[in-house]
Amino acid sequence: MEIDWLKSLASSWAQQLDEGRLPHAVLLQGSRGVGKRSAAAWMARRYLAQPAGELPVFPLQVPEHPDLRWIAIPEDRKSIGIDQIRELVADIHLTSHAGAGKAAVVEPADAMTVSAANSLLKTLEEPPGDALLILIADRTVNLPATILSRCRRISVPLPSEAASIAWLNRLRPADNWSAALAVAGQAPIAAVMLQDRLGEVDEMARDFAALGERRAAPLEIAARWASREPEFVFGWLAQEVQTVVYTLCAGRARKVAGGTAESVLKRIDRRNLFCYLDIINRLRAQTPGSFNVQLALESLLIDWAEGLENCADRVIATPLGLR
């Protein structure tokens, strides 16, 4: 199914390709689940003169082509290693099989090790004339400045909520896309992935509400949540706390997703709430496996149960649970 909110991106890319103005390296940046990987696959197809249609599509269709390398995190690792980048670099310097050039996609680029990033940097500094490198990152803060400076950055925007719901209903009619979008940070493709996990979301919301009302034990909840994917848990927690921020600070008529009681809201200091959200977002920005998830969750949930009394005094330069 075509991803219609990528129409402007696709039109611009096609025009630059026709006019011979493509850069050697691009960085696709934006929220997770907004379509960056589908966009990269479509861009690579167009560059290699393969059938691609007018727009990127979902589900993701990784092109199978001898002139394309698609680098991702191996199943048995937590990062992209230097061996993978060395293989990419060696391949991209070879002669094109089909004559249209060579292309490579690295995703997520922010999961490269330092040595892998340094290895790729050499190719970015002196790219082959017929090569295209596409990097994808959800969190550009984790990319070295030297990598960022050598890529043309393309931001992939979120569509409006109305446009997202319309697209999602064409994909798969459902009554609760609004709930899935709220948890997914308004990213439609992330909402698709979360649609079947709304039961887990409801359970976490009940846990969080009970915690705020001091009806549950933080360590027990942390142990349950630690068994889930960290990205899912911290992503939901960030959305929940951000909703509380809107409720307390922005005067926005937005429902508190977890049913946070008014009595809980009254005892939370706004300054501490921003501090709390900052800690969560710092944890989300960390490379997978670089911190102890259960320890981080225990600290966060104890803070919430205590009304964030000590949060503003915490030293947050090093996020909780980092090894």
Query: Which token pair is 156?
Result: 């992939």
CATH 3.30.750.24 is held by the domain 4-155: no
Ranges in the chain, pLDDT < 50: 252-258, 315-318, 323
Q: What is the DSSP string of 166-220?
A: HHHHHHS--S-HHHHHHHTTT-HHHHHHHGGGHHHHHHHHHHHHHHHTT-S-HHH
Where along the chain do its domains lie? 4-155, 161-313
161-313, what's its fold? Zinc Finger, Delta Prime; domain 3 (1.20.272)
* Residues 31, 140: Cα–Cα separation, whole Å: 11
Residue range 86-133, pLDDT digits in tens: 999 999 999 998 888 999 999 999 999 999 999 999 999 998 989 999
Q: How far apart are CA 122 and CA 105, in angstroms?
A: 16
pLDDT, tens digit, for every residue of 30-49? 999 999 999 999 999 999 99
Sign of the Cα torsion 229, 204, 185, 182 reads positive
